[in-house]
Amino acid sequence: MTSGFFDQLDARVAATGSLLCVGLDPRDTTPIKALAGCRAIIDATASHVAAFKPNSAFFEAMGPEGIEVLIEVVESIPDEIPVLLDAKRGDISSTAAAYAVAAFDTIGAGAVTVSPYLGADAFDPFLEHEGRGIFVLCRTSNPSGADLQEMELSSGDPLYLAVARVVAALPMDRVGLVVGATEPEAMAKVRSVAPKHWILAPGVGAQGGSLESAVAAGIRIDGSGLLLAVSRAIAEAPNPESVVTALNSSVSRARHRAGTVAPVSEPSLAVALFDAGCIRLGDFELKSGARSPIYLDLRMLAGHPTLLRRVAARYLPLVGAPTRIAGVPLAGLPIATAVSLLSAIPLVYPRPEQKDHGTRSVIEGPFEAGDRVVVIDDVATSGSSVLDVVDRLRSAGLVVERAVVLIDREGGAGPALVEQGIRLHSVTKLSDMIGLLLEAGRVSEGEARRVREFLVA
């Protein structure tokens, strides 16, 4: 390999626009027919896919000749296409070292799936092979996977999320995660704690996984980082190429709906917000009484559902894995709702005033004392709106340590929130947004200068 597996994967996705990983699982136990069948699939689909994933078990079942067939199948795959060996290895270090030699040197794969149950001993021998990668089993697509993977730890996290946190601390250019497309809620939580790592998502099609749900939950903010593994739907089709073409189109639409990848003609997020009236230039009086040359009106997002979803997708890598999301009334509520829908994290929100009837609730939505909450708002200036919500949430027994906004107006909100034990995360800063609008020709040099002068005043 001339470059690392994940570098090769990034390049392949950029070249083809595909996120499909075609599984090679020969059901015919005759070695000659198995080889011919795999080569036929490779020939029909190679120009349209991101990667191939031969499953070692189906080749091993054929005996010694099956291993030879596996090696020939890998050799048949064009050099520019990454090869991931589905073998689910995981053993003590000396045995893992032998598995690594088999996967990388004997078979010729670029990456291999591994089990995390033995800890670092199961990972390290594979990572000693320069340029090769591993995908760690996290939340698998089989129904009984929940028996262990959903077990709650003393931290309150399920076991699979603890695995994700371990992997998130490992280099993203060497290690990815396996999360079944059948588990979109788990995938969203994994993506929130490992925002940059690749996720392999098996289970689309025959196992019942939804392609659209998997993309919405697992796509990275750059529109990549998710390998959708499909095997039987392609292998059993009369025309595998047409199936792959149709799947690529479906993935493209799902990426667009998720707000991470747009058609070439669609403007950047900054321009889209400007064109939707969410960013306006002029002379405005702010809530504080100060005059501003720019006004952010993200309430307009409610009238632009596609843009709202796109904005919400930008929040996901910053949200983390809380028990609840809380929206700041009023502008933060539509965004928080959209983030909740994309992440499958339940939503709560404080009422402006306590109800004087019924339950007399202060906080709407189900929760328990001790739940960890991330506060979602549209913009941050001084931080006062977020702090007001934090006070009410904490008074109800909720734990709040993080807030996320789309735009930081750079008015001191970050330091103010830190003093109250809240870390502020923003998708972007106002100064960066103005720079993008200037590059796009939406604002003039003079308008951009006035905004920048206002920010440093």
Integer Cα distance of 335 and 314 in angstroms = 11
Instruction: Inform me whether the pLDDT recorded for 28 exceeds 50.
Output: yes
Domains along the chain?
A: 5-257 (3.20.20.70), 269-456 (3.40.50.2020)
Quickly state the pLDDT bin for 331 (edges 50, 70, 90).
confident
- How far apart CA 316 and CA 226 sit, in angstroms, is 15
Amino acid at 295: Y
* Residue given tokens 């083809």 in the structure block: 16
How far apart are alpha carbons 307 and 200 in whole angstroms? 27
**Separation between Cα atoms, residue 351 and residue 354, nearest integer Å:** 6
> What tokens appear for 370 in the block?
């001790």
405 with 363: CB under 8 angstroms? no
- How far, in Å, CA of 114 to CA of 160, rounded? 14
User: What's the average model confidence in pLDDT over 361-367?
Assistant: 83
Round the CA-based radius of gyration of the chain to a whole number and report it. 25
Judge whether 27 and 58 are in contact, CB under 8 Å: yes
Mean pLDDT of 190-202: 93
In the structure encoding, which two tokens stand for residue 431, read together? Answer: 């100064």
The terminus-to-terminus CA distance of the chain in angstroms comes to 54
**Tokens read off for 417:** 């929130």
DSSP state of 197: S
Question: Residue 22: pLDDT band by 50, 70, 90 thresholds?
Answer: very high
Per-residue model confidence (pLDDT) at position 1: 42
181: its two tokens:
């497309």
- E-assigned strands of 120-203? 133-139, 175-179, 199-201
Task: Evaluate the omega torsion of the peptide bond into residue 273 and state whether it is cis, within 30 degrees of 0.
Answer: no
The pLDDT of residue 157 is 85
For 189: left if phi > 0, alpha if psi spans -120 to 50, otherwise beta; the answer is: alpha
Mean pLDDT, the chain, rounded, equals 88
pLDDT tens-digit profile of 201-255? 998 866 667 888 899 889 987 788 999 999 988 998 888 988 898 888 888 778 7
Instruction: Write the pLDDT tens digit of every residue in 37-70.
Output: 999 999 999 988 999 999 999 999 999 999 999 9
Q: Which of 158-172, 177-191, 244-258, 439-453 has the lowest mean pLDDT?
A: 244-258
Tell me the Ramachandran region of residue 358: left when phi exceeds 0, alpha when psi lies from -120 to 50, beta otherwise: left
Residue 354 has pLDDT above 70, yes or no: no
CB contact set of 445 (below 8 Å; sequence gap of 6+): 438
Number of residues that make up the chain: 457
Using pLDDT thresholds of 50, 70 and 90, give the confidence band for residue 355.
low
> Could you tell me which residue, 74 or 254, shows the higher pLDDT?
74
**What pLDDT was estimated at residue 353?**
64
Distance CA(72)–CA(85), nearest Å, equals 13
Residues near 196 by beta carbon (within 8 Å), at least 6 away in sequence? 172, 220, 225, 317
Cα angle at 214 between 262 and 10, to 5 degrees?
60
Residues taking part in catalysis: 88
Q: How far apart are CA 327 and CA 61, in angstroms?
A: 54
Name residues whose C-beta falls within 8 Å of residue 407's C-beta, 6 or more positions apart in sequence.
Answer: 296, 298, 378, 379, 380, 426, 427, 428, 429, 430, 433
| pLDDT, position 428 | 87
State how beta strands 199-201 and 175-179 pair: parallel
Q: What is the pLDDT of residue 326?
A: 93
Tell me the one-letter amino acid at 37.
G
Say if residue 262's pLDDT is above 50: no
Q: Decide: pTM greater than 0.75.
A: no
Average confidence (pLDDT) over 414-435:
89
* Mean pLDDT score, 352-360: 56
Quote the pLDDT of residue 263: 39
Mean pLDDT, residues 390-417: 91
In DSSP terms, 209 is beta-bridged to 204
Number of Cβ within 10 Å of residue 152's Cβ equals: 10
pLDDT surpassing 60 at residue 267: no
What is the percent of the chain with per-residue pLDDT over 70, rounded to a whole number?
93
DSSP type of residue 428: E
